[in-house]
Amino acid sequence: MNLQNPKKFKMLVDQAHEVALNVLRPISRKYDKAEHAYPKELDMLSSLVDGMNEGGEGMNAGAAGAGKRSEDTTAGNRNGTNMSTALSIIEMCYGDTGLLLSMPRQGLGNSAIAAVANDEQLERFKGTWAAMAITEPNCGSDSAAIRTTAIKDGDDYILNGEKIFVTSGDRADSVVVWATLDKNLGREAIKSFVVAKGTLGMTIERLEHKLGIKASDTAVIRFIDCRVPAENLLGNADIDISKGFAGVMETFDNTRPLVAAMAVGCAKASLERIKEIFRHQLDLTYSTPYLHTSNIAAQIYRMEAEWEAARLLTLKATWMADNKKPNSKEASIAKAKAGRIGNEITLKCVELAASIGYNEDDLLEKWARDSKILDIFEGTQQIQQLIIARRELSKSSSELK
C-alpha cells in the first residue's frame, strides 16, 4: 500500500518541515542543556501558527485545532483539523519534541478544550495557553482513580487536590484540571475545569528534572480551596451515569493520536539520521531481497516498516475523528504502537550508530531520551493494551482489569 498525505495539506507539512530544520533543530541542544529556561524563539513561531490556524477550516497546525467542530455536514470523506494537526506535529517533532510541547497555545490542554468545550467556552478560551493536569501522586494511568475534588458552592466550584507531571504547568496561562464531583460515583463524576494561572488556592510546588523533553517545563501543582467559576467546567456539568466515563474519554480520543504523531515524528528523525550514516549499505530502491542485505540494512528496513505501520495507524485514528466516527480503540492502538515503536527505533539507532549515537555532538541520543515519555504520558503502553482488549472483547472496566 502507498497511502499518501492529503494533497491539500502539502504546503502545511512542507512549512512545518522547514520550521523543524531551520528553527527547532538549531536551538534543540541549547534548551536541552538549559532545563526550565523558556525558549523565547518560540514566541514568534507560535504567533505564526496562530495565524495559520485562523486561515480556514481544516488547516490547523497546532494541538488547539484537534477536535474542533466542523460546519461541513456533507457526506463523504473529510480530512480536517485532526489530520492536519497530526501531520504538522509529526514534522515539528522531527525537529524537537520538547520544543513542540513548549509552544504557547498549542498544548494538550488546548486540545482538551477543543474536544469537550461548548461553543461559548470555545470562544471564551480562544487564545489561552492551557496545560493539562490529570496525573496524581496515587493515580497514574488510571484516570478513573482521580481523587482531586470539585465541590459546588454557589456559582463556583472549590477544588482540592494535587496534580503531578503537568506539562507547561508553570508557563501556561491556565490549566485544565480533572476532578471528581462525587468520589462515591467514581469515574462517572469526573469533569474538567479551566483554572486560570494565579487563581487563589492554586500553587505551583516545583518543577521536575527529567530524562528528556527538558525544554518543556513539568510542574507539580497543588489546589487548596481553589475557587473556580462554574462556567469554567468544560462541557456538560450533569453527571450522566449511563454515559459513564465516555465524556472524559472524548479528550483522550483526540489527544492520544497527537501523542502518537509525536512519537512518529521523533522516530522519523532518528531513522533518517541512521540511514544517512549507513547510506552506502542501503538499497534506496528496495530491490535487493531482504535476506540478501547486510544485518544492519535488514534492521533499518525492519524499523522503517514498523514506523510506517505506526504512521498509518495514527492517520487512521485522526481520520476517524475528522469523520465523526468512534475512534477510542483506534486512538489507543495508534498510541500503543507509535509509543513503543518510536522508543525502540530511537534506541536502536543509538546502538547502531555506536559512538556517534552516544555522544552529544549528534542529536540521536537526545531523540532517544525524548522518545521515552511518548510511550508513557496520555496512558502507558499497558493501559492502552487494556483499553484495546476491552473494546475487542466488549468488556467493561470492572469485567476486565
- Note whether 13 and 25 are within 8 A (CB): no
- The residue annotated as part of the active site, out of 123, 378, 392, 399, is 378
C-alpha cell at 391: 473494546
HSE, side-chain direction, 13 A CA sphere, residue 206: 4
Burial 121-147 (b: 16+ CB within 10 A, else e): beeebeebbbbbbbbbeebbbbbeebe
Residues 6 or more apart whose CB falls under 8 angstroms from that of 147 comprise 136, 138, 139, 161, 180, 183
HSE, side-chain direction, 13 A CA sphere, residue 349: 33
SS3 225: strand
Distance between CA atoms of 69 and 81, rounded to whole angstroms?
Answer: 9
Residues 6 or more apart whose CB falls under 8 angstroms from that of 335 comprise 256, 257, 259, 260, 378, 379, 384
Please indicate whether residue 399 is annotated as part of the active site: no
- Note whether 333 and 388 are within 8 A (CB): yes
Query: Of 349, 371, 265, 356, nearest to 302 (Cα)?
Result: 349
C-alpha cell at 91: 514534522
| Segment (H or E) for 84 | helix 81-95
Q: Write out the catalytic residue numbers.
A: 378
